[in-house]
Amino acid sequence: MQEITSVNKESSMRKVALTALAGTSIEWYDFFLYGAAAALVFPTAFFGEVPESTALILSLLTFAAGFIARPIGGIIFGHFGDKVGRKKTLVAALMLMGVASTLIGLLPTYAMIGVAAPILLTTLRFAQGLAIGGQWGGATLLVTESAPSNKRGYYGAYAQAGAPIGVILANLAFIATSALLSDDAFMSWGWRIPFLASAILIGISMYIQLTMEDTKAFRDLQNHQTLKDKVEEKPIQKSPVLEAIMKYPKRIALAAGAFLSIQVTFYILVAFLLAYGVKSADMSRDDMLAAVLIGSAIMVPIQFVFSSYSDRNGRKGIFMTGAILTAIWAFAIFPLVDTGNFWLIVIAVSFGLSFLAMMYGPQAAFFTELFSTEVRYSGATLGYQLGAIAGGAFAPTIAAKLWTDYDILWVSVYIAFASFLTLLSVMSLTETYKTDLNEKI
């Protein structure tokens, strides 16, 4: 009987992990699809009357709008995630992303409605940011709070794998669409097809709502709070976000710092590098997309390897090693791209993303373990999203300015500096891998 129960628990855990993987993959697909479009399509479609270099920078600034929205989404969804549950909040975030991305695929261009086009585009990108701001915490906690204590890193990697898989799906969508259409047709209307496909996310969110239950940690918290409210005549209703900030200000700040290297490097590799490779190394759009696709495919299994390693040996050591290697590799990326050799570009991207996997894979469990149950959604999400806006929001834009105004070497310095700040932040955090997630309620 005990063996059957164990098998059922393992089967249930796999269902939770795979569902979170499916939801986050499509969610990140939408978010990264915008990044590829911002580098390759939107400068022409939505900023057609300004010089080419200015159009690229303006387009990348709309890309940044999604990051500005992320901490706001983190605050809003974090509040409800700690109040009404991980599952309901995740479903709402997935629905918002599905609707916003589908509407981008229906948006009129600058040639059709003038300046209203980039304004609407930025608004929908902001909505995407709100959704991502809420999605990460919901998916991560749904998995890590449900996982066995000795496998939190491994199962947390399912939620984290959504990011590189999202990149793969987004790049495949662009490569397939552009391969089936002429350049004129792709730039005119073909780019819309991958965005319209985002409607599938609405179906995934409904599946989660109808078939999954919330985590045991949150259910225990609710039961505890119900008993507490019966004892107190006038229970005090606190905001989980404010309580998290008051209780864990240092941990939130350090968690944000820990995320800097991942964000800066990742968005330079998957967004800025597309434009750089096409213009500087005279590579084709599809070759650059393919290089990022291959690197992202390699990143996925490596995340699981290092996440499992962190379950046995701790989160901090592997995280810091990844930051150090990323700082060193920053100075190899652009010389390899400048060769114009496709496979050397694949090596540049693949090693960069592999070193990021040493940090990003264990991060779900690491951030979950930093905070107690009653403010875990808010605390983990705030740390994650503040790091996202500080590191990723303007990374492609800053990289473009450093490249055009100074030299590409300064982009490598930028990556290395962000990695150094991440190293210092992780060194200042405590080791968490033996934490009991139900210890504090």
In tens, the pLDDT along 99-141 reads 888 899 898 988 888 888 888 988 998 998 888 877 777 778 7
Q: Has residue 222 been placed in a domain? A: no
pLDDT higher at 259 or 36: 259
pLDDT above 60 for 226: no
Q: Has residue 397 been placed in a domain? A: yes
Pair 170, 178: CB distance under 8 Å:
no
Q: Has residue 433 been placed in a domain? A: no
Q: Has residue 343 been placed in a domain? A: yes
Q: Has residue 59 been placed in a domain? A: yes
Q: In which domain, by residue range, is 304 found?
A: 7-209+238-428
Which residue is associated with the tokens 């796999």? 14
In sequence order, what are the residues at sequence separation of 6 or more whose Cβ sits closer than 8 angstroms to the Cβ of residue 34? 63, 66, 101, 104, 125, 128
| Six-digit token string for 324 | 């150090």
Largest CA distance in the chain: 72
Q: Has residue 357 been placed in a domain? A: yes
Q: What is the pLDDT of residues 232-245, one digit of tens each?
A: 444 445 677 788 88
pTM for this predicted structure: 0.80
CATH code assigned at 64: 1.20.1250.20
Q: Has residue 151 been placed in a domain? A: yes
Buried b (16+ CB within 10 A) or exposed e, 89-122: bbbbbbbbbbbbbbbbbebebbeeeeeebbebbb
Q: How confident is the model at residue 438 (pLDDT cuts 50, 70, 90)?
A: low
Q: How many domains does the chain have?
A: 1
- What are the φ and ψ backbone dihedral angles of 53, each rounded to 5 degrees? -65, -40
Where are the strands (E) in 221-380, listed by range? Answer: none
Q: What is the pLDDT of residues 312-360, one digit of tens each?
A: 999 999 999 999 999 999 999 999 999 999 999 999 999 999 999 999 9
